[in-house]
Amino acid sequence: MTGGTATATQPPQPVRHAVIFDLDGVLVDSFAVMYEAFAIAYKEVVGDGPAPFDEYRRHLGRYFPDIMRIMGLPLEMEEPFVRESYRLASQVPVFDGIVELLTTLRVRGLRLAVATGKSGQRARSLLDQLGLLPFFDHVIGSDEVARPKPAPDIVEHALDLMGFLPEQAIMVGDAPTDIASAHGAGVTSAGALWALSEAEELLAAEPAVVLARPTDLLALCPSVPGN
């Protein structure tokens, strides 16, 4: 070798073409509405006494019937829970910075999808009511895949619909189930902290990156070449 100093070169990073978002706790702050709907459903089906919402919240990201089975609660709670969730949907706020984030990602040429523990119909209805639905190419619910989170099916389905490889996408979630689903699909996982008062369980799931606020994601998603 003649002249100069050899420097190590890093392999080129794959260009990200897509972002897959969880819904509750990432795009919208639905916990107050979720608590009210859960409390009403519990009282109607189970009876008096405090509804175990703290335990329910630990399982978020899973499909509602799966959570009921894990908690040993009646599956009949789903009907009033869904009914009340629809009734209260207009009270769900969008997190600060989300509209700015989604707008910028679309301008940069990225494709966007939602992969949620909700049913697909309820997720699309909520996003439509909040004015967010036009940002997304696909909104996939847990009832629309064979195995909901923490299985990788819902993330893999989003990739298939958008026509991208796992290394071309990133998944943003606030629950260990989101991170597990991303890991299983081979997609880069990003842990969203802005809705969490305690982040230990999310961090224990080992997301590849951690985001303190929605717009932190922009540093990981530059413009798609040719856009």
| pLDDT (tens digit per residue) in 174-220 | 999 999 999 999 999 999 999 988 899 999 999 999 999 999 999 99
Q: Where are the alpha helices (DSSP H) in the chain?
A: 31-45, 53-58, 64-71, 78-87, 98-107, 120-129, 153-162, 176-185, 200-204
- For the cut 80, the answer to whether the pLDDT of residue 24 exceeds it is yes
Q: How confident is the model at residue 12 (pLDDT cuts 50, 70, 90)?
A: low
Q: Which residue has the tokens 């969880």?
A: 22
Cα-only R_g, the chain: 19
178 given a catalytic annotation: no
- For the cut 50, the answer to whether the pLDDT of residue 3 exceeds it is no
Over residues 3-25, mean pLDDT = 71
Q: How confident is the model at residue 226 (pLDDT cuts 50, 70, 90)?
A: confident
Q: Is the peptide bond before 14 cis (omega within 30 degrees of 0)?
A: no
Can you give the pLDDT at residue 188? 97
pTM, to two decimals = 0.90
Given 24, 29, 153, 174, which residue is catalytic?
A: 24
Can you give the pLDDT at residue 60? 85
174 given a catalytic annotation: no
Given 22, 153, 174, 178, which residue is catalytic?
A: 22
| pLDDT (tens digit per residue) in 107-131 | 999 999 999 999 999 999 999 999 9
| pLDDT (tens digit per residue) in 82-92 | 999 999 999 99
